[in-house]
Amino acid sequence: MTLLPTLTGVGRLTGDPELRFTQAGKAVASVPLAFNSRRLNQQTQQWEDGDTFFVRGTVWERLAENATETLSKGMEVLVTGELKTERWEKDGQKHERPALLIRSIAPNLAFAVAKVSKDAASQQNAQGGGQRSAQQGQQQRRSGTPPHDDPWAVDQANGYSNEPPF
């Protein structure tokens, strides 16, 4: 088994993520990315762009759905994934291009503000092993009381705890 090189870097979306579904019903999204280098020219004190690496990233399942809902063209993102070469043949011509199988992707908070919330699937399969229904979870959110098994919940009577929840 060959190990693929791992890329972790800061890139920019050159287009909106495009969500589609396989015949088996799995979500998959294409995420077009550009990575470039910049350096400060010491003589002019101006930033200069270096080479740019364009790559089409692919995300699967919940990550694909969440990325499509969260990210848009022009956003700077932090991304980790495995680099590979996609190969195909069309009209008798062989083609290849670099591709990135994305394992994690998030907006760069140096240039964006994000409000993080659990997605619907996470709420249904929360730490209770999926035993709590989504309706119960919605009722708890409306009432403002955190779930009893939420390790990050604030103790309203005593304020914030100095102890980490692990």
Q: Among 38-47, 132-141, 145-154, where is mean pLDDT lowest?
A: 132-141
* pLDDT reported for residue 149: 55
How far out from the chain centre does Cα 148 lie? 28
- Which pLDDT band holds residue 56 (cuts at 50, 70, 90)? very high
Query: Please, what are the domains in the chain?
Result: 6-112 (2.40.50.140), 114-144 (no CATH)
> Quick one: average pLDDT of 108-114?
83
Neighbour tally for 136: CB within 10 Å: 13
Residue among 103, 137, 104 at smallest CA distance from 120: 137
Does residue 91 register a pLDDT over 50? yes
| Comparison of pLDDT for 102 and 163, the residue scoring more | 102
Does residue 33 register a pLDDT over 70? yes
- Which pLDDT band holds residue 41 (cuts at 50, 70, 90)? confident
- pTM, entire model: 0.65
The secondary structure of 99-161 as a DSSP string is EEEEEEEEE-TTS--------HHHHHT-TTTT-S-HHHHHHHHHHTPPPTT-TT--BTTTB--
138 phi and psi angles, rounded to 5 deg: -65, -40
Contact criterion met (CB below 8 Å) for 17 and 29: yes
* pLDDT reported for residue 129: 46
Rg of the chain on CA atoms, in Å: 21
